[in-house]
Amino acid sequence: MPPRRRQTPPRDPVHHPLFARFYARASTTAETLGAVAALRRELLHGVSGRVIEIGAGNGLNFAHYPRAVSEVVAVEPEPTLRRLAAAAASRAEVPVDLVPAAAEALPVKSEAFDAAVASLVLCTVRDLPRSLSELHRVLRPDAELRFLEHGLAPGPGMAALQRGLDRTVWPLLFGGCHTARDPLAAVEAAGFRIVSQRSFRLPERGPALPTSYCVIGSARRLP
Ligand SMILES: C[S@@+](CC[C@H](N)C(=O)[O-])C[C@H]1O[C@@H](n2cnc3c(N)ncnc32)[C@H](O)[C@@H]1O
């Protein structure tokens, strides 16, 4: 019998069981009460072909992929959320292949995808430039990156609060989330051209939260 290879687990896997349970509940409520389902439909409208989604969470995007999508490779490193995503994948109308991996090292071939999707995840990946450079690698030239993200507030007061939270409690409480990142600047720096963007506040009314400054849009992969 050949010697068994020891499987070395990743040094520091993404494992946030408490946050995962919180997110599963909060995100499901936000779908209808916070109108996030409508944003997911907007995010995925017109997407087609082979799609890669990073940090798929509990799979709330899956129900919104158009039928023109031939396959979704959904990457999710957190085990609790991945289990929930598997259930969502089984109900989806398009084939979803769930992969346990992180955005910083996508276990897929280069230039193999027609579109990529990042929703509420660029705030959380450990290495933002590396994750976006991986998306650039796996997309074919001119392919689309669709994004729905929160980020840095335009006003200095809230921006200072966001930076303070990011240095202290926020990532610990919310599964590695950061509030003061600038997703548009990071996407452009990674070799994409922004083709559409709409900034908005979520929730629209009431006091702003550190995560209220959102943007939805798409970018094209430059050669
Ligand atoms: C706020 S949740 C968003 C989930 C989902 N994209 C959505 O729209 O509801 C952030 C997700 O990013 C995942 N995540 C954390 N670190 C990651 C990494 N390095 N690479 C990919 N996903 C990551 C988390 O496990 C979680 O599922």
Instruction: Decide: pTM greater than 0.85.
Output: yes
pLDDT at 7 over 70: no
User: 111 φ, ψ to 5°?
Assistant: 55, 40
Give the position of tokens 């999710």: 76
83 by Cβ neighbours in 10 Å (0-12 / 13-18 / 19+) ranks as middle
Pocket lining: 123 vs ligand 1, CB cutoff 6 Å: no
pLDDT at 3 over 80: no
Q: Strands 113-119 and 49-54, how do they pair?
A: parallel
pLDDT at site 2: 39
List the single range of 7-21, 23-37, 189-203 with lowest mean pLDDT. Answer: 7-21
Pocket lining: 104 vs ligand 1, CB cutoff 6 Å: yes
pLDDT at site 32: 81
Pocket lining: 60 vs ligand 1, CB cutoff 6 Å: yes
Going by alpha carbons, the residue nearest to atom 1 of ligand 1 is: 120
pLDDT at 220 over 50: yes
Pocket lining: 59 vs ligand 1, CB cutoff 6 Å: no
Predicted confidence (pLDDT) per residue in 55-106, tens digit: 999 999 999 999 999 999 999 999 999 999 999 999 999 999 999 999 999 9
How many whole angstroms from 207 Cα to the centroid of ligand 1? Answer: 25
> In sequence order, what E strands does 107-207 have?
113-119, 139-150, 192-201
How many whole angstroms from 78 Cα to the centroid of ligand 1? Answer: 8
pLDDT band at 8 (very low <50, low <70, confident <90, very high): very low
User: 43 φ, ψ to 5°?
Assistant: -55, -40
How many whole angstroms from 123 Cα to the centroid of ligand 1? Answer: 9
CA 218 from centre of chain: 13
Pocket lining: 81 vs ligand 1, CB cutoff 6 Å: yes
Percent of the chain scoring above 70 in pLDDT: 94
Going by alpha carbons, the residue nearest to atom 14 of ligand 1 is: 55
Coil/strand/helix, residue 86: helix
CA torsion 95-99-103-105 (nearest 10°) is -130
Going by alpha carbons, the residue nearest to atom 9 of ligand 1 is: 57
